[in-house]
Amino acid sequence: MNLPPLTFADVTLLLAINAIVLLITSELSSPEQGQTNLTINKKKLKIAALTTGTAFLITVAITIANIITST
């Protein structure tokens, strides 16, 4: 079974979904939200969320630059 290759739009969508999920998880796992018995390193989770969000914003900027330069 051959899967079609990922396009740039697919990668952008995956980054957006991952960034949203990681940011929500990092905020809901904070101690202010109540008792959590998570063994997740919250600092690393926050860094991963911000890195994914930054990568998403970079792909959006590349897409906008591509649209502007193609006209």
Kindly report the number of other CB atoms within 10 A of residue 59's CB atom: 18
The string of pLDDT tens digits covering residues 8-26 is 999 999 999 999 998 888 8
Exposure string for 7-25, b = 16+ CB within 10 A, e = fewer? eeeeebeebbebbeebbeb
Residue from 4, 12, 17 nearest 63 by CA = 12
Query: What is the identity of the amino acid at 54?
Result: T
Position 64 scores a pLDDT of 93
Position 63 scores a pLDDT of 92
Position 32 scores a pLDDT of 58
Residues of the chain with pLDDT under 70: 30-39, 71
